[in-house]
Chains A and B, each alone.
Chain A
Amino acid sequence: MSYSFISPRDEKELKEEISAPGSFTMSGGTDLLVKIRMGKISPQKIVSTSKISTLHFIDENDDEIVIGSTITHAELLEYKPLREAFPVLFDAIYTIGSPQIRNRGTLVGNVMNASPAGDGLLALYLLDAKIEISNGDAVNIDEFVVSPGRTILPKGEYVKSIHIPKSKWDHHYFEKVGQRNSMTISIVSIGWLIKCGSEAIENLRIAFGSVAPTILRLKDVEKFSKGKKIDEKFVHVVSDMVKERVNPIDDVRGSAQYRKKLCSNLMYRMVEEGIKC
């Protein structure tokens, strides 16, 4: 097992390097290096994006925040406007790995890893983020991610940035049920955003992780919730709907049956958190 390691200085050079067969693009390497050690992939060449200054940026305007592809989790946690605009994303990123991993790993890497357990990814699904590709395309996150480890990113292209449209919400929630409190991969993860009308839900978005091949947004539950009041009866109904819609598998972290029941139970956090709408 041997491979070459290249660290291009600009995007032009990057594009040339990654078009070669057997090349893998590396950002923080927190997923890639683990996969190499496990023998899951055998790269001939690793192309690091870390020295490309044009990919290292965070932009903010009235409509969106744009996150360049080499921005680490730790940098995002320190970027104050992010916490204000997207607290659910902040909460999700905060649960990723350990401080060491957050110092290396990037949000774009989390997207490219395309894990159904991706924590940052779940928040991006909730926030209707768009992925900007080097060929100029901008793709909705749920269309960009296809299945575990797979995206629609064409060979020879790379992700430039993530665009997250700003939106106002009254309540946000993210939780990762893991085997321990940190350095953990979710058995199930859940996130929601709620906007309240005068007496009822005006808008609700809800997503689950680790219960399907990709992060799962439950759009029919979202539609159903419109105009409903949040009370125990509502939570009970939604909790049943959730159970029918998630499709988890058995793995080393938990059984499918447990996961299903977890998703359903986690809806009661709305009651526990005392969310009134």
Chain B
Amino acid sequence: MGTFTKKRDYSVIGKEIPRVDSLVKVKGKAKFVADFDMKDMLYGALVLSKRARGRVKKIDVSKASSLKGVRAILTYEDIPGENQIGEVVNDMPCLVPVGEEVRYYGDVISLVAADSLEIAKEAVKLVKVEYEDLEPVLTIEKALKNEVKIHPSGNILTSKKIRKGNVEKGFFESDFVIEDDFYAHYQEQAYLEPQGILSLYDNNYGITIYGSMQCPYYVQEMVPKVLGMSMHSVRVIQAETGGAFGGKEDVPSYVASQCALLTYHTKKPVLLVYSREVDIQTTSKRHPIKSHYKLGVTEDGKIKAVEITAHMDMGAYATLSPIVMYRSLVHAAGAYDIENVKVDIDGVYTNKVPCGAFRGFGSPQVLFAMESIVDEAAEKLRMDPMDIRLKNALRIGSRTSTDQLLTESVGAVKTIEHAMEISNYAELKKEMAAFNLENKFKKRGIGVSHIIYGISLGAAGQHLDAAGSLVQVHRDGSVNIHIGNTEMGQGAKTVIAMIASEALGQSIEKIRVDNPDTSYVQDSGPTVASRATVFSGNAVKKACEKIKARMEEYFSKTRNVSVEEIVFKNGAIKTVDNKHKILFDSLANECYNSNTKMVERGWFVSPKLRWNSETGLGEAYITYAYATQVVVAEVDMLTGKSQVIEAYTSHDVGKKLNPVGLVGQVQGGFVQGMGYGLFEEIKTTDGRITTDNFNTYIIPTISDIPQKLKIDFVEDAYSQGPFGAKGIGEPSLMPVPASIANAISNAVRKRVKRIPATAEYVFNIIEEVIK
């Protein structure tokens, strides 16, 4: 148990606190980017490639420029800085030059700014692009042949591996060795608010960017590069963000570059908001991953070895793929203590939409495959799926698949026990058997999954893994908090306000967490990887503690009491004996009158991780979240359609900071994972996405959500987390596709090897059963 968790009476932490930003959002008062309107504001629009692959021969803008109301039409020649961009590898043009190749249906060729959106859209139609048609590479298999090279360096950008123990020896020592192929398809983030940026020249003669985004510092780095400016001339302020899920990690950097280019040339404010179709066609998705799993187990269910090869479809550009791959690599062998692990994973270019960040970052695909093969092993051994997981689960003293020794906060086993308990597992199995006996055309199955999830950026992202804060207590006791991580619907502002309230002793109503602005706080890394609570939370806690110490010191001196006697709580300060009492607000005023410094910064840096990228061994992440899930799915044997009937899920979160927020995250993660597991499907024709709106890209509605979703938390504190907490944003989704796939497999007595397990897919595997 960590040092922060010795039983103490928190006044805010662990309490059910309503979201601090809920009222403005519920009332419709919150302003999102598309709501912005300014004097002389122009509207931006994009000219996109209509080929999956082709060489741009000519861009003719003459007709479009003569349209009344058009203020700018830009091509690659109008870029003052660098045209070659990318978050990890500079393999993507901001605007595709003449003579160069378009590499997917959606590559940006030209930018338009006009007086109205209608005119801008009209102008886009008038820009004539001539192509030389080139043969596109649309599958991983074709890309691997390397006959057509998408980039000069070849179609495999990068490969990563793990070499732990000796898998050959492990398979030799196994009683059973099973293997299979799995495929996990794309998933679209489907945030409610599409990508949007407003850029303008500010009164310091630099450019200010407002936008819907997760990572203001990514934007602040890329925009100056494209504009040929220095970073101090570009200020980035996060606007309210209506969902992101990874889809607004790096993508807003590209959107902001496009928008800022239009402002740079027109000197006017420009609003660029993607239509849903443009958003789905052009922005990053969850990577499709094809994998081959080979697993060796002994008769008593001990996993001796696992060998995995996987290929991920990166699409036309690398974007964040190399670091997504790192997470796929580390999570490929799942949540188990396995002596011998061999993983090889390649990132492959294709002429399709670039893939990137999405809640889980390359993990749900491999966790689905691992959890499927573990289920197969259990079936082969006639073992209960829970028993095999319990037998191989990680504990204190276990080593992960990258040989990381686990020393604290390993709630894995407890989540398995809790999941069995809350689902009444033994009884559930009986009920299912009875149902299946009675029903010929509907079959039910129970699916189990058990997962691990690395918190924050891990060894591959250590250089970014720090976060800052700026806390200012005003004369009236009200507090402003600036952090570098964003609120995007996940509840970050609430949990940060709670941490500040607890650490300062001021009541939460007096605390305002402001939207990140790059001019206040040093680069705090991205708001991804379930890291905001731990990183920004710690940074805020530190700053608050410094101010509180100073207030304590002032109080102690002026009242002539010792610091140990003073209690700060819920907006009041008093001595233990109740002799001296004052409101936080009044003490703040006194501190001001005595020239006390009431503003402070906090800085939290990731504990250092040792990692060997040659062997893929070492400390992959600072800590891990664990979860176990049980779902009951019903399959209509006549149509193949599956429905989740009930679900039980237990998550190790270290420490519950805001129970309401946690439940919200787990509910949302469940539904998003269920959509991925069941029916969210990107379909393409010649590389063009044909499911580019929500009438064809199907996400769950309230009628698809199971009637019963029971949520449980395990608290096994993490000593470096604020009050012992770990993250929940992504772990909430991780077990879902796997448990649903296992439940369907269990129901139809045939292995689901692909997600989403659409009605048509399940129908086809049932048909084979019948044959």
Contact = CB atoms under 8 A, between A and B. Distances in A.
Interface of A: 1, 34, 98, 177, 179-185, 187, 252-255, 258, 261-262, 265-266, 268-269, 271-272
Prevailing SS type, chain A contact patch: loop
Contacts of A179: 679, 698, 758-759
Given A1-B118, A252-B690, A261-B763, A180 B701 contact: yes
B760 interface: yes
B431 interface: no
A252 B703 contact: no
Given A184-B698, A262-B763, A269-B638, 5 more contacts: A182-B702, A182-B703, A252-B691, A266-B638, A271-B441
Contacts of B690: 252
25 contacts: A1-B118, A34-B695, A177-B639, A179-B679, A179-B758, A180-B679, A180-B700, A181-B701, A182-B701, A182-B703, A183-B703, A184-B698, A185-B695, A187-B760, A252-B696, A258-B760, A258-B763, A265-B638, A266-B639, A268-B441, A269-B441, A271-B440, A271-B441, A272-B440, A272-B638
B759 A187 contact: yes
Interface of B: 118, 440-441, 638-639, 641, 643, 679, 683, 690-691, 695-696, 698, 700-704, 758-760, 763-764, 767
B760 A255 contact: yes
Contacts of A262: 638-639, 763
Contacts of B759: 177, 179, 187, 254
A195 B702 CA distance: 36
Nearest to B694: A183
B188 to A, nearest CB: 14
A187 B690 CA distance: 16
A252 B763 CA distance: 17
A177 B760 contact: no
Please report whether the interface of chain B is mostly helix, strand, loop or mixed according to DSSP.
loop
Contacts of A258: 760, 763-764
Nearest to B693: A38
Contacts of A268: 441, 638
A240 to B, nearest CB: 15
A183 B702 CA distance: 10
A109 B216 CA distance: 47
Closest 6 A/B residue pairs (Cβ)? A181-B703, A182-B703, A265-B638, A179-B698, A272-B441, A258-B760
A265 B639 contact: yes
Contacts of A187: 759-760
A235 to B, nearest CB: 11
A266 to B, nearest CB: 6
Nearest to B118: A1
A259 to B, nearest CB: 9
Contacts of A252: 683, 690-691, 696
Contacts of A255: 760
Contacts of B760: 187, 254-255, 258
A253 B641 CA distance: 13
B125 to A, nearest CB: 10
A255 B683 CA distance: 12
B563 to A, nearest CB: 60
Contacts of A265: 638-639
Contacts of B702: 182
A183 B759 CA distance: 16
B633 to A, nearest CB: 14
B698 A180 contact: yes
Nearest to A259: B760
A143 B185 CA distance: 43
Contacts of B764: 258
B441 A183 contact: no
Nearest to A262: B639
